[in-house]
Amino acid sequence: MAKPQLKPKARNVVESLFHFDLSPHSLSSPIKSLSISQSLLYLGTQSGRLILLSFEPSSPNTLSFLKSVVVGESPVESILVLSELNRVLILCDECLFLVDDLLVQPVKKVGFLKGVSVITKRVKTSESECTNLLETGSGILPNSSSASTSQRLLQKLGGGIKSNGVKVKEQEQTRKGSDVFAVIVGKRLILIEFVNGNVLILKEIQCIDGVKTMVWLNDSIIVGTVNGYSLVSCVTGQSGVIFSLPDVSSFPLLKLMLKERRVLLLVDNVGVVVDVHGQPVGGSLVFRRSPDSIGELSMYAVVVGDGKMELYHKKSSVCIQTVTLAGEGVIPCIATDGEFGGGNVVVVAVPTKVICYRKVPAEEQIKDLLRKKDFKEAISLVEELECEGEISKEMLSFVHAQVGFLLLFDLHFEEAVDHFLQSETMQPSEVFPFIMRDPNRWSLLVPRNRYWGLHPPPAPLEDVVDSGLAAIQRAIFLKKAGVETAVDDDFLSNPPSRAHLLEQAIKNIIRYLEISREKELTNLVKEGVDTLLMYLYRALNRVHDMEKLASSENNCIVEELETLLDDSGHLRTLAFLYASKGVSSKALAIWRILARNYSSGLWKDPAVENDLPNGSTDVISGREIAATEATKILEESSDEDLILQHLGWIADINPVLAVKVLTSEKRATQLSPDEVIAAIDSKKVEILQRYLQWLIEDQDSNDTHFHTLYALSLAKSAIETFEAEISLENRATARLEEAKCSDFGRDSIFQNPVRERLQIFLQSSDLYDPEEVLELIEGSELWLEKAILYRKLGQETLVLQILALKLEDSEAAEQYCAEIGRPDAYMQLLDMYLDPQDGKEPMFKAAVRLLHNHGESLDPLQVLEICPFNLHQIQY
């Protein structure tokens, strides 16, 4: 079943080029057939005359009469031009005639073929899909028993060549410039070939009676009768019915659609499309009326009938254009230039007048649709033309860009950008004038291309919106007066606000520039894209996007943005931008200002303001962010003066960040330790200690000065901590908690207590001055530390006294004796336990432990000497 008729979209596909009236040349007989070959037009009349006209397809009013000859007394049914042979083959009086293409020589009759009703030329889509009929061996040979009397007669006459130009089959014949045809003679289908002006019989096939129309494509011959359509193989001679026609039906008609390699079979007003095997493919073409003649022009089927010419889109079956030719009842005929519709000219004869139509250039068709604001139809047309190979892919991109600009000025910003993005040739610089007024840094980058002049010149988005709103107001006024306009009906019924339109315009231009960043662009265009993208972000106050762009790799021009961002208060963005461009000093100065303003409460931190309960703001968070960003910059900087300049305020906010700055290994050149140590605030003890620890442990420094300085700093902190703990023990709980809170910051760098760190360092390092450290802690209660130092100095007795008497660590004392390795060491320890002095009671349990663990190492007599009257107690 044919698909329903679609509503046609009016468009001028062809336009009248010229017309020619035959009456002044005494040629009043109606035209029956016509054919075009380059600039020559052949007309066959009802009276049997062949008329030759010449014309220039690209110029109007150039059709001129050349000559006419009489072919026969009956109508000229068919005209076939043999281009390679410079001959014209004519079907008239049921015979075939040959004449030269300029009608100079007399007309010659192909005498052996009589009773010819239909003739068609073989069309090959490719040599690989066609059988060479001379090599099949299945043709009718002159001596075949089935050959006709005329063929046998030709053979008897000898040589196979007659004076009338007819030649029988001869495989050795030179085949330069050949054309192969099929002719219908009664029920016979005869295949012939013209070779160098002679006729060669290839094959004779038994066919059906009453053939009215015929098409030969590759190895398939499709014939049409009043009863239906059949397919015949030119190789095997076998035939089969494609389908039958109804009892009451229009005259059968076939049209070869070579571009699609298909054949159109007419059934009343429906064109059924079949492939080379006779199988229906695709959709059918539904015409408004049953046509008298059908032509092909590019993507369109051209049909004529009832005094009208109509162009139908071959894929959609939509009628694109209708042209009135003459009154109803007149039967016109049609021809197109180029073999099978590959040209640009359509010629229609009605009945003594020749009208030539030229296909409107694709560019003009597209322009016409764009002027009517039928953008979807325009794009659809361009895509079809590109698919057909009639326009380039660059033209498709060009039209997408043109449609985008038209939509932009019509205030349809989202759709405009959608088309911009589909254009592969549009440059991002083409939207620059919509963002920044000329002249500017990038004015010379903007292509001076107005496309087809269908839209106004580029202007800032504010001006585009204002002009669009003014057009809407005018349209509303005209509509009230009953005048139709091209303004969108949605805008007329619900006029948009300026703010909304401007926001939509900026959002969509942002979308275009963001995607354009991923393309391969020149450096200057990249700079324009990123800089103007920042402009648009700022216009919508999209702080997150501004900071994301500024902090990432970008091509922004700082000089174009610093005043803008400074005046609008987007200092964080400016700081990120400075940092990305290597202007570290300015970036750090901004972060310092931000930290101070957050600290003083002058500014609220936008990142956390809305996340806190009761609308309170987190001042510390803003300071931390500023210090963190500054730290990132300083970690990679080798500018010592700059680093030490900003170290102080970072340390005030977060000592850990200060340490990261000093100990960073990201920089190319490390800092001078002496300069760093001198620059660290004396109150920032932990920063100094962490830096010294990094120098010693991570950088493997062997400088005794640094080792001693680190040990002294740890010792001093340990003394202060010890004294503070003693003091806290005598205070109330509330005061204790308050002191812990105030001391919290000191524990933010190190996880281990200071005394533990001191003890570990004193034991592990041999490069510090133990006497200097010992002098510092001499009057303190850091007995274990003293023991370590005395041990470094070789003061064994003092070490034992501290371990045994001060710390009362029997296990450590005994371990130290074992390290000394002398038996008298245990005796010395026993003596200390039994006679601790300074009014301290003897440590009998420790003494018993020592005798139990190491008695075999002690001299019994010496033991008895030091404890004669306490022996019983010791044993106890």
pLDDT tens, position by position, 675-696:
999 999 999 999 999 999 999 9
pLDDT classification of 611: cutoffs 50, 70, 90: very low
Name the residue with higher pLDDT: 517 or 259. 517
Give the Cα separation of 606 and 590 in Å (integer): 16
pLDDT tens, position by position, 46-86:
999 999 998 887 777 778 889 999 999 899 999 999 888 88
Give the Cα separation of 96 and 112 in Å (integer): 9
Tokens 């020619």 found at? 20
Least confident of 309-313, 326-330, 534-538: 326-330
Give the Cα separation of 41 and 17 in Å (integer): 14
State the average pLDDT over residues 14-25: 83
The answer on pLDDT for 470 being more than 50 is yes
User: What's the token pair of residue 346?
Assistant: 């359509």
Name the residue with higher pLDDT: 668 or 489. 668
State the average pLDDT over residues 382-407: 92
3-state secondary structure 182-202: EEEECCEEEEEEEECCEEEEE
Burial 196-229 (b: 16+ CB within 10 A, else e): eebbbbbbbbebbeebebbbbbbbbbbbbbebbb
Determine contact, residues 113/190, Cβ cutoff 8 Å.
yes
Using a pLDDT cut of 70, give the percent of the chain over it.
86
| pLDDT, position 849 | 87
- How many Cα atoms occupy the beta-carbon half-sphere of 852 within 13 Å? 11
pTM for the whole thing?
Answer: 0.77
Determine contact, residues 427/447, Cβ cutoff 8 Å.
yes
| pLDDT, position 745 | 38
In one-letter notation, the amino acid at residue 772 is E
Query: Nearest-CA neighbor of 166 among 184, 153, 182, 185?
Result: 153
Determine contact, residues 513/428, Cβ cutoff 8 Å.
yes
Determine contact, residues 851/833, Cβ cutoff 8 Å.
no
pLDDT classification of 744: cutoffs 50, 70, 90: very low
Query: Nearest-CA neighbor of 386 among 394, 423, 344?
Result: 394
Tell me the sheet residues that pair with 486: none
Query: Nearest-CA neighbor of 518 among 504, 501, 530, 500?
Result: 530
User: What's the token pair of residue 194?
Assistant: 């013209």
Please give the helix or strand (H or E) that residue 301 lies within, else none: strand 300-305
Cα angle 743-744-747, degrees, rounded to a multiple of 5: 100
- Share the mean pLDDT of the chain: 84
Least confident of 119-133, 662-676, 683-697, 724-738: 724-738
Beta strands (DSSP E) in 93-133 are 95-100, 108-114, 116-123
| pLDDT, position 561 | 96
Give the Cα separation of 516 and 526 in Å (integer): 9
pLDDT classification of 149: cutoffs 50, 70, 90: very low
The answer on pLDDT for 147 being more than 70 is no
Least confident of 331-335, 369-373, 403-407, 765-769: 331-335
DSSP class of 145: T
User: What's the token pair of residue 367?
Assistant: 């322009």
**Rounded (10°) angle between helices 685-693 and 704-728:** 140
pLDDT classification of 337: cutoffs 50, 70, 90: low
State the average pLDDT over residues 439-455: 88
- Mapped onto helix, strand or coil, the DSSP state of residue 369 is helix
- Mapped onto helix, strand or coil, the DSSP state of residue 489 is helix
Alpha-helical (H) ranges within 481-522 are 489-493, 498-516
pLDDT tens, position by position, 253-274:
999 988 888 999 999 889 999 9
Distance (Å) of CA 827 to CA 666, 793, 802, 866, 869: 58, 22, 16, 10, 18
The answer on pLDDT for 13 being more than 70 is yes
pLDDT classification of 246: cutoffs 50, 70, 90: confident
The distance from CA 683 to its chain's CA centroid, rounded to whole angstroms, is 58
State the average pLDDT over residues 741-756: 66
pLDDT classification of 620: cutoffs 50, 70, 90: low
| pLDDT, position 11 | 83
279: number of Cβ within 10 Å: 11
Number of H helices and E strands in the chain, helices first, is 29, 29
| pLDDT, position 172 | 40
CA dihedral 249, 252, 255, 261 (to 10 degrees): 80
Cα angle 516-522-526, degrees, rounded to a multiple of 5: 50
pLDDT classification of 451: cutoffs 50, 70, 90: confident
DSSP letters for 33-51? EEEEETTEEEEEETTSEEE
Tell me the sheet residues that pair with 233: 220
Give the Cα separation of 460 and 287 in Å (integer): 50
pLDDT tens, position by position, 629-687:
999 999 999 999 999 999 999 999 999 999 999 999 999 999 999 999 999 999 999 99
Name the residue with higher pLDDT: 472 or 128. 472
Determine contact, residues 105/67, Cβ cutoff 8 Å.
no
State the average pLDDT over residues 202-219: 91
Determine contact, residues 688/655, Cβ cutoff 8 Å.
no
Give the Cα separation of 188 and 114 in Å (integer): 11
Query: Nearest-CA neighbor of 711 among 663, 743, 757?
Result: 757
Tokens 């269908």 found at? 454
Give the Cα separation of 19 and 352 in Å (integer): 11
pLDDT classification of 232: cutoffs 50, 70, 90: very high
| pLDDT, position 644 | 96
Please give the helix or strand (H or E) that residue 216 lies within, else none: strand 213-217
Give the Cα separation of 473 and 384 in Å (integer): 37
Name the residue with higher pLDDT: 335 or 837. 837
| pLDDT, position 785 | 95
Determine contact, residues 13/64, Cβ cutoff 8 Å.
no
Determine contact, residues 316/6, Cβ cutoff 8 Å.
yes
| pLDDT, position 139 | 41
| pLDDT, position 731 | 64
Dihedral sign (CA 716, 717, 719, 724): positive
Determine contact, residues 235/249, Cβ cutoff 8 Å.
no
436: number of Cβ within 10 Å: 17
237 torsion bin: left (phi>0), alpha (psi -120 to 50), beta (else)? left
Please give the helix or strand (H or E) that residue 711 lies within, else none: helix 704-728
Tell me the sheet residues that pair with 41: 36, 53
Determine contact, residues 387/298, Cβ cutoff 8 Å.
no
User: What's the token pair of residue 551?
Assistant: 């902090």
DSSP letters for 779-843? TSS-HHHHHHHHHHHT-HHHHHHIIIIIS--HHHHHHHHHHH--HHHHHHHHHHHH---TTPPP-
pLDDT tens, position by position, 167-206:
444 444 444 445 889 999 999 999 988 876 678 888 899 9
Sheet holding 293-297, edge to edge: 293-297, 300-305, 308-313, 319-324
| pLDDT, position 163 | 32
Determine contact, residues 261/254, Cβ cutoff 8 Å.
no
pLDDT tens, position by position, 268-305:
889 999 999 999 998 889 998 888 889 888 888 999 88
Least confident of 620-634, 717-731, 790-804: 717-731
Using a pLDDT cut of 90, give the percent of the chain over it.
52
